[in-house]
Amino acid sequence: MIIDMHIHTMISSTCSLIDPEECIRRAMDKGLDAICVTEHDTLEGGRVMKEIARQFDFLVLGGMEVMSREGHLLVYGYHIDIKGVPPAGEVIKRVSDAGGIVIPAHPWRQPFGWYSGAIDRPLEETEFARIFQVIEMYNGLSSAEENAMGKAFCAATGIHGIGGSDAHRIGDVGAVVTEFADDIEDESQLVEALKSGRYAPHIIKPLEERW
């Protein structure tokens, strides 16, 4: 299954210009099997998009992008909005205890990456390397250099990596995806697949070719 793991829509992300129906049509045109709607700090977008997607017989999975004190975190398999700017450790515990998974979004992007640029040492020299089992290796709005750093980090540590477009414009949907070896029908199966490591991220169209 080919899934864009990181999409924002105008339902709940004020920074996005993506219309929900247009997003689904675009995903289908690009040959995607599903999309994950990851609005900022809320699951509302995913809930609304699921209802809209029924008429298209297309799979929408819900998640969210949480702003923690240490950086942005993609959350999958958790069913309560996470507001405020909590410590990353608190988010990880809450989500893990509920059977979900937390994945750091665009960790090398500054600002908004891990520690939001507040440290001047490599992530390999922080606790980052031991607290996450999966990271967002490729992000559609990150630079080629930042995505290369994600690839190198995963290769060096053995940590698994996903890819997502981080789309805020319709033309970005499907630009970066994750190809899963197993079928996925809901969020619980998505979490199991993410924990299995049976997937690979792909950059379909680099940022430099879209802007």
Task: Please state the domain count of the chain.
Answer: 1
* Residues 36, 6: Cα–Cα separation, whole Å: 6
pLDDT single digits (tens) 99-153: 999 999 999 988 778 876 667 777 878 888 788 999 999 999 999 999 999 999 9
Encoded amino acid at 196, one letter = S
pLDDT per residue rounded down to tens, the chain (211 residues) = 999 999 999 999 999 999 999 999 999 999 999 999 999 999 999 999 999 999 999 999 999 999 999 999 999 999 999 999 999 999 999 999 999 999 999 999 887 788 766 677 778 788 887 889 999 999 999 999 999 999 999 999 999 999 999 999 999 999 999 999 999 999 999 999 999 999 999 999 998 887 6
Cis peptide before 20 (omega within 30 of 0): no
What is the Rg, in whole angstroms, of the alpha carbon atoms belonging to the chain? 16
Q: Are strands 59-67 and 34-40 parallel, antiparallel or unpaired?
A: parallel
What CATH number is associated with residue 182?
3.20.20.140
Query: Which tokens is 84 given?
Result: 């405020």
**Token pair in block for residue 148:** 């290369």
The residue range of the domain holding 155 is: 2-209
For the CA atoms of 6, 7, 8, 10, what is the dihedral angle to 10 degrees?
Answer: -170
pTM for the full model?
0.95
